[in-house]
Amino acid sequence: MNGNTDRSGAPRRAAGWRATALGPALAMLSGSVFGQVLWSEEFNTGSAPDPVIWTHDLGAGGWGNSELQTYTDAPENARVEGGQLIITARETVSRGGRRSFTSARIKTQDKLTFKYATIEARIQVPNLRDGLWPAFWTLGNNFSQVGWPDCGEIDVLEMGSAAAIAAGLTNRRVQSTAHWEHNNGYAGYGLHRDMPTDLNGGFHVYRLEWTPDSLSTYIDGQWIWTMDIRPSACTDCEEFHQPHFLLLNMAVGGSFTGLYRANEITAPFPAEYRIDYIRVIDNGHTVLGGSAVSGGGSSSAHISAITPSVSGGGPNKRAVAAITVRDELGAPVSGASLTASFSGSHNEVVSGATDASGIAHLSTTVKNSTAAFKVCVDALSKPGLTYQPTQNIETCDVY
């Protein structure tokens, strides 16, 4: 949903991914409570999304998909009422006849994260025909550090695609897709399911099953899509083995819908996207975290990203690296001491500490007229945390 690339409704497959058959059995970790609801949002209190759990994304600009709406945090666009979250897309028509739209988009980034889980949501979509684009999806919790598609994305529910509109199935076609980085480019794979009746007539349960082996989605227990994420099948899919967060939104127009102008939108307004509940269920592999999870303190840390660069010019170039540290829940680790070795055009061992965003900014004192170096993390420490180098997304990088 949030990618900086057009969505045609027919995602591409990466060269490093292949479909394989998966057995129905799931391995259960020792000591886990399979099937237990670990966290739920029932929307039974307050009149707005709980700020302890949810953060609003705000503004316009198309959101990387040429969307037409402006996202706000106004109660007219997002409210809690009658035990439901209601995201409302609204239309305003100016005196000159110019149409504009508002809606809402909320997320649990850093507040509720999960790695591997069963995620269920009971949802009712409005009449989407045509131009509305509701979504229930996830992004990797390192999104702010690495961007899209490097963070990974799992679309549990998307509706209103251009292909569905063309087929006359706007209110019946449900699509699920994964998006990720592959060989420094974009990769995506998804499928859709066409239901026999319109989905905007009532509530339906949308479910994601995410294990170390696969991603699968369902509507009312009916299969939509599966993707094998084992290393043997998906050679560059580390995005789907790290913590993600939840997002809910309803866009107006954009690349997914194939409708780019306000006068092409024919869906009725106001349009209410209703969410009755969201539940995170232990599937034997689940790791839950974030600031909203009581007692969910972290115990380990790893390197989630290394970004080498250069400062200065001419003969005064310094080797620089921004090194991101996160805990096992996907949250940034501040105040961690880090040591890294630079080699090549710049040979120096540099130490520093991570800031509030979990990033250590290291720079050599050595200067050179050329810059062709490698930087590797040698050590990481913080009281109360154990450095787990085997969990590093990368330990070295090259400039």
* Residues involved in catalysis: 153, 158
Q: Is cis: bond before 49, omega within 30 of 0?
A: no
Reading the block at residue 108, the tokens are 């649990």
- The pairing of strands 153-158 and 373-381 is unpaired
Reading the block at residue 23, the tokens are 């057995």
User: Is the separation of the CB atoms in 236 and 182 below 8 Å?
Assistant: yes
Residue 218 main-chain phi, psi, to 5 deg: -145, 155
- How many H helices and E strands in the chain? 2, 27
Q: Is cis: bond before 149, omega within 30 of 0?
A: yes
User: Is the separation of the CB atoms in 30 and 52 below 8 Å?
Assistant: no
For 15-43, letters b (16+ CB in 10 Å) and e give eebeeeebeeebeeeeeeeeeeebbebeb
User: Rounded to an integer, what distance in angstroms lies between the CA atom of residue 118 and that of residue 272?
Assistant: 26
Written as one letter, the residue type at 315 is P
